[in-house]
Amino acid sequence: MVRRALEEAIHQALKEMGLDLRLKVAKAPKDKPGDYGVPLFALAKELRKPPQAIAEELKARLALPPFVEEVIPVGGYLNFRIRTKDLLKEALRPKEPFPKREGLVLIEHTSVNPNKELHVGHLRNIALGDSLARILDYAGRRVLVLNYIDDTGRQAAETLFALRHYGLTWDGKEKYDHFAGNAYVRLHQDPEYPNLQGGIEEILHALERGELREDVNRILLAQMATMKALNAHYDLLVWESDIVRAGLLEKALRILEQSPHVFRPTEGKYAGALVMDASPFIPGLEDPYFVLVRSGGAATYYAKDIAFQFWKMGLLEGLYFQPYENPYYPALRTSAPQGEPYTPRARETINVIDVRQSHPQALVRAALALAGHPELAEGAFHLAYETVLLEGKQMSGRKGLAVSVDEVLEEAERRALAVIEEKNPDHPAKEEAARMVALGAIRFAMVKTEPRKQIDFRYAEALSFEGDTGPYVQYAHARAHSILRKAGEWGEIDLAQATPYERELALALLDFEEAVLEAAEEKTPHVLAQYLLDLSASWNAYYNAKEDGRPATPVLTAPPGLRELRLGLVRSLQETLKTGLSLLGIPAPEVM
């Protein structure tokens, strides 16, 4: 990997100059010499030298990688030009997943309440979590994906109560989770809702005893049809009723009570409650006390989150697992009253939860540190994301204002089919292509933006074959595949015939592995999504290049040797786009 090799060489040279710093190498601007460069302005104060002088000294000290042809100090930057043959060889090299490293990464995502259909707000959670799991796996991590089923929560209880209270019987005309969700909305719109709390509480207690699991599972199976349609993958289901049954909360509280920062005040507003003083780990809090168990004995959801996190990271045991019978994920395992004992003992966890849960997630990390495991606290990462609007509107499931994921998929597919019929009326498999394009549009729209920014999903923009969309990248892949399909026999590649156009395309191909590693390290798929957009743009520029009004880069009609070089680059591009899309959970159609 070119950039990381350059960064390491710069790091070693800076150490000789007395600075143990790692600088980020980036593409050099088009109007500057060289292919890559690093700015040195930030070092001027530390080294008490002008940036240009630092660039000259760095150049003199660098132990250059063999692929560097020239080092160019220019205007406070140190730029590098790569040897063309080395550049082309690297671009043509098949890309493989990175070797596996020690240590398990556990990713929890989706975790939708099992009381109604998935709505558009869940799309971002699923796309982020599933994409990051794929990226980390490719980057050499051992990954376990977990879906948490809150079967003892109030939402599930209210849905099951509503189904009974209104005497509703499913007629099979709509998905079961939609049927159940309509009952939930009806309950919340019922003027008698305040007077129905006793019946809801009875259902809640039955759920806590694990008595209505099949009723909840029926809703979950319908939700899983949607998850499968979104191309999401899971390894484990963990049911909250099993956590309750295993006594994980009590075990976690016993661990925490050994800390001097967890105690029961005898007076004041927290008298009789078990509280955690988070001030050593979350500075600046106006009130540093957080209730784990209320004075009446009820545990808060903070405490439940902490207990589950302790299990994830191996501080608690007690859950059992067995195969989960379902038509969507044959290898999926589920927690159960009986089965094989299993504890992940993850060194790193990633909880994909929206930004409103940032404070509870900070308390989870504080609890790990209070339990004597600051190294695990560092490994507990919250992938926080902002909300999703649909055509400018905010969603609310309780008020019945949400749009379901099933509806979004259906509408996206309908619109994609219309586009394909217009652009390619002779397409051999229009419906399948429409499904792939719709999935690409939706998932790409959810991951292309940095997670902390709000998304406003709009069909027309997301389904466009141009601009920063999934179909734009899919179309670039299909165009490359079309050329390869027509190629026939190949001869020998002649690197010496490369033109500046091949050089530019090779440079764009070079950064795929860098983008994967950066996305894995930063724990955000938008880095990879942006790379795929940039690569598609470079490919389109290459494909459409003209000189004197004529195509400058014909592939199939190029002279022998150059033809094969161009075919090799097109194949590398097609494979890179296909792999990159797959890491975002997006299919790569061969024809669009």
Instruction: Say if residues 219 and 176 touch (Cβ distance below 8 Å).
Output: yes
Both tokens of 465, joined, read 């074959």
pLDDT digits (tens, 9 = 90+) for 47-86: 899 999 999 999 999 998 999 999 999 988 999 999 999 9
The string of pLDDT tens digits covering residues 204-231 is 999 988 899 999 999 999 999 999 999 9
The pLDDT assigned to 401 comes to 62
Would the pLDDT of 398 be above 60? no
Nearest to 528 by CA among 138, 8, 146: 138
d(CA 7, CA 2): 9
DSSP 6-64: HHHHHHHHHHHTT----PPPEEPPTTSSSSEEEE-GGGHHHHTS-HHHHHHHHHHH---
What pLDDT, on a 0 to 100 scale, did the predictor assign at position 297?
86
| CA–CA gap between residue 497 and residue 484 (Å, rounded) | 20
pLDDT bin (cut points 50, 70, 90) of residue 120 is confident
> According to the model, what pLDDT value does residue 117 have?
96
Residue 288 vs residue 143, higher pLDDT: 143
Reported as a single tens digit per residue, the pLDDT across 249-283 is 999 999 999 999 999 999 999 999 999 999 988 88
Q: What is the pTM of this model?
A: 0.94
User: Tokens 């308390």, residue?
Assistant: 363
Q: What is the pLDDT of residue 399?
A: 59
Query: With contact defined as beta carbons under 8 Å apart, do 13 and 62 qualify?
Result: yes
Q: Distance between CA atoms of 138 and 132, rounded to whole angstroms?
A: 10
Give the Cα separation of 176 and 170 in Å (integer): 7
At residue 207, the 3 state secondary structure works out as: helix
Position 320 pLDDT exceeds 60: yes
In the chain, pLDDT over 90 holds for what percent of residues? 87
Summarize pLDDT for 164-176 with one digit per residue, the tens.
999 999 999 999 9
Domains delineated in the chain: 1-81 (3.30.1360.70), 102-121+135-388 (3.40.50.620), 403-582 (1.10.730.10)
What does the pLDDT read at residue 581? 98
Per-residue pLDDT at 199 exceeds 90? yes
Among left, alpha and beta (phi > 0; psi -120 to 50; other), residue 417 is: alpha
Q: What is the pLDDT of residue 284?
A: 84
d(CA 562, CA 554): 10
CA distance 349 to 105: 6
Band of pLDDT at residue 400, cut at 50, 70 and 90: low
pLDDT band at 395 (very low <50, low <70, confident <90, very high): low
Alpha-carbon span 184 to 288, nearest angstrom: 37
